Amino acid sequence: MERLKILITTMMMTITLSVIASEDSYMNIYLNSTGKATSISIDNIDKITFPSEDEVLLTVNGIATPMLIDDIDVITFGDTDITSIEENEVESAGIEIKYLLGVEELHIVSPEPLSMVQVYNMQGVQMMTQIPNENSVSYNISAYPRGIYVVVVQANGQIATEKILK
């Protein structure tokens, strides 16, 4: 692990962030304007500045890229880069969990009746709990803010989880 310092300059002050990073650490930026994610190796980031209250200027390898703050959904740091965002599907204990991005619906199918469906945001706040007692359910989650959510489904004593990006 190495300690990386990122210089952030606002109109009023300069802030230095210290990030403990492994050799292959990335900053992942999810943009709502394009619906895509961008991954940048932390080693390539020169600085991040805020020239105004609604804009961020990201300088990577000497090239500055302006972004509107309102266009940024989530910024994460991690040891993997994000290459694409696709509809998520997982099968665990025969339970199928799908998030349909275009219609903002969560679809869950199970061979056994679903005893519980829960959705949590990345801060651990429970956004929804349902006890459907059906094999197939759909939930419209368009009212939820954009972000990353964890879906926990229970059926016949089996638990399936899936992370979705809304």
In this structure, which topology does domain 89-165 adopt according to CATH? Immunoglobulin-like (2.60.40)
- Using an 8 Å Cβ cutoff, are 162 and 150 in contact? yes
The one-letter amino acid code at 59 reads T
Q: Helix H segments across 4-102?
A: none
CA distance 97 to 108: 5
Q: Which residue has the higher pLDDT, 144 or 51?
A: 144
Q: Which residue has the higher pLDDT, 7 or 131?
A: 131
- Using an 8 Å Cβ cutoff, are 166 and 149 in contact? yes
pLDDT band at 72 (very low <50, low <70, confident <90, very high): confident
The whole-chain average pLDDT of the chain stands at 74
pLDDT of residue 52 exceeding 70:
yes
pLDDT of residue 103 exceeding 70:
yes
CA distance 87 to 102: 9
> How much is the pLDDT for 136?
96
> How much is the pLDDT for 138?
96
**pTM value > 0.85:** no
- Nearest CA to 109 out of 119, 100, 118, 98 is that of 98
Give me the half-sphere count of Cα atoms (radius 13 Å) on the Cβ side of residue 121. 10
β-pairing, 158-165 vs 36-41, is: unpaired
Residue whose entry in the numeric block shows the structure tokens 């040891």 = 79
Q: Could you tell me the residue ranges of all domains in the chain?
A: 2-78, 89-165
Range from 23-27, 39-43, 52-56, 147-151 that averages highest in pLDDT: 147-151
- Nearest CA to 155 out of 128, 118, 115 is that of 115
Q: What's the whole-number mean pLDDT along residues 112-139?
A: 92
- Nearest CA to 133 out of 103, 112, 161 is that of 112
The one-letter amino acid code at 137 reads V
> How much is the pLDDT for 54?
79
First and final C-alpha spacing in the chain: 31
Give the SS3 label for residue 44.
helix
Q: Which residue has the higher pLDDT, 30 or 148?
A: 148
pLDDT of residue 49 exceeding 70:
yes
Give the SS3 label for residue 96.
strand
Q: What's the whole-number mean pLDDT along residues 141-160?
A: 87
